[in-house]
Amino acid sequence: MASFFSFSLFSLSLLLLCSSSIAKSYEDDENRVFISSNNLKFPKTQAEKLIKSLNLFPEHEVNHYVSKENNKFGESEIVEKQFKFPLFGSSGASVEELGHHAGYYKLQHSKDARMFYFFFESRNSKTDPVVIWLTGGPGCSSELALFYENGPFHIANNLSLAWNDFGWDKVSNLIYVDQPTGTGFSYSSDDDDIRHNEEGVSNDLYDFLQAFFKEHPQYQKNEFYITGESYAGHYIPAFASRVQQGNKDKQGLNINLKGFAIGNGLTNPEIQYKAYTDYALDNKIITQSDYNSLSKIVSRCEQAIKLCGADGGSSCTAAYMVCNGVFNGILNTAVGINYYDIRKTCEGDLCYDFSNMEKFLNQRSVRDALGVGEIDFVSCSSAVYEAMITDWMRNLEVGIPTLLEDGIKLLVYAGEYDLICNWLGNSRWVHAMEWSGQKGFVGAPTTPFSVDGVEAGLHKSYGPLTFLKDQPKASLEMLKRWMQGKGSLTHKDGHLAPM
């Protein structure tokens, strides 16, 4: 107990020391960018700022709900219904031919948690791979990706739905999950069910998969891929490791895991936070003088992350607070920049408008179709975000080499113009990762990734590992080629794989 208390005090001392020294470093120079301790936002304030920037206004901090229908699960772990939304345009198949499902899974290792999910059968073939998508935040609903990125349809301004010609369900059987508990339509009546680390998150997802494939045994032998973005750079490696371990230990149904893909993810914070200032300088977001000033915070951030290690704890909270100074320092310099696309600007606090998603999902007709009743939709949960703070600065790259050695494919992709979780930081940790193919990957050539004769990114691959700096419109073709190939998006001669 004494040693733990001393360790906690040391972490708190580090936080206070770094915060005060950051303010002191710049208070004498009025011409420089000021990074005061006030800019090191408390986690919930940071979460609320993120949510507001997306024009989202969830009524509650977390989805807390006391179910009146606990008995509806009976002996089953899953309650699922097929639904049909009115849609405009052509999907390539009639709506009646497509299986669109929504359901709840009763989390086994919880007091009263229910995990909500969407499942869209492939528009192409039921034998296509099964792909699960995880949105980051942490604490943001996967419906963000469903309606605005790679789902079967998009929401129009009049709240009607139109088919997405680039939806990932054109090449896969696609699952979207609201997680961790308290996010989206996923709920619990007990706050003890809120997760704080990757062990809890990955165990919930593994248990869900076991129940899902029991409910849909016809898909169990299909190839299975884990995908997601942003903070899912933490979720995905932990989840993939949990699935692989479950397969090796024969803990349940064998899941045919073939690969995992991380888009603009946060995976190795120590490397990636250093890349923020480098990327900002390279793209003229900050000046050399700003860079030199921020380098002092970067150094403290790196030291704090080393103390955090791989196991979480109070030192990781201190690291989160210190390292926030790096990102906030850049934003304080480049006022109004859209950190999801540096070519754009934000209007005040608003960077994107995803409010139609909340409006759509709160319609009575939609709620009836999905079977969610009176359960709230929490688009992004500030409470879940805050609960995961001790997990934030952990290095989740550490479990990836074992997966690569087992032949599990990894695709890391990042947009050229994203500041947050940018391509430079992702490229650096991928190149620095120690595994048997590291030298081969580092020495592999970088080749163009083209779609319809137009270059859409740059690609590098060796064995099961692929890195791609891409453009968003290319994501469907990227997914298709990656799943069909052997880890590479091109043939050995450098020509692109056939569509």
pLDDT digits (tens, 9 = 90+) for 143-180: 999 999 999 999 998 999 999 999 999 999 999 999 99
User: pLDDT per residue over 1-49, tens digit each?
Assistant: 443 333 333 333 333 333 333 333 433 333 333 334 443 446 888 888 8
pLDDT reading at 341 higher than 60 = yes
Strands 161-163 and 257-263: unpaired
Residue 488 — very low, low, confident or very high, per pLDDT cuts 50/70/90?
Answer: low
- Note the helical H segments in 283-344: 288-308, 314-333
Distance separating alpha carbons of residues 109 and 124, to the nearest angstrom: 36
User: pLDDT per residue over 190-206, tens digit each?
Assistant: 999 999 999 999 999 99
Q: Which residue has the tokens 């390292």?
A: 323
Contacts by residues 434-438 (CB-CB < 8 Å, ≥ 24 positions apart): 434/401, 435/400, 435/401, 435/404, 435/405, 435/465, 436/404, 436/405, 437/404, 437/462, 437/463, 437/464, 437/465
Percent of all residues in the chain with a pLDDT value above 90, rounded to a whole number: 72
Q: What average pLDDT score do residues 441-458 get?
A: 91
> Across all residues in the chain, what is the average pLDDT?
86
Top-confidence residue, 484 or 36: 484
Look at residue 75 in the predicted model and tell me its pLDDT: 53
Distance separating alpha carbons of residues 370 and 363, to the nearest angstrom: 11
Q: What average pLDDT score do residues 45-69 get?
A: 86
CA distances from 51 to 45, 144, 378 (A): 10, 12, 11
pLDDT reading at 398 higher than 90 = yes
pLDDT reading at 93 higher than 70 = no
pLDDT reading at 70 higher than 60 = no
What φ, ψ does residue 85 adopt, rounded to 5°? -95, 145
Strands 161-163 and 87-88: parallel
Architecture of domain 1-415: 3-Layer(aba) Sandwich (3.40)
Distance separating alpha carbons of residues 343 and 418, to the nearest angstrom: 9
Nearest to 42 by CA among 346, 307, 383, 337: 383
Top-confidence residue, 489 or 85: 85
pLDDT reading at 499 higher than 90 = no
User: Do 377 and 185 touch, CB atoms closer than 8 A?
Assistant: yes
Which 8-state DSSP code applies to residue 139?
A: T
Look at residue 294 in the predicted model and tell me its pLDDT: 96
Domain extents in the chain = 1-415, 436-499
Percent of all residues in the chain with a pLDDT value above 70, rounded to a whole number: 83
pLDDT reading at 96 higher than 70 = no
Which residues have a Cβ under 8 Å from the Cβ of 13 and sit 6 or more positions away? none
Nearest to 145 by CA among 363, 360, 357: 357
Distance separating alpha carbons of residues 460 and 411, to the nearest angstrom: 10
Distance separating alpha carbons of residues 24 and 32, to the nearest angstrom: 12
Look at residue 111 in the predicted model and tell me its pLDDT: 93
Look at residue 76 in the predicted model and tell me its pLDDT: 62
Residue 338 — very low, low, confident or very high, per pLDDT cuts 50/70/90?
Answer: very high
User: pLDDT per residue over 295-328, tens digit each?
Assistant: 999 999 999 999 997 556 789 999 999 999 999 9
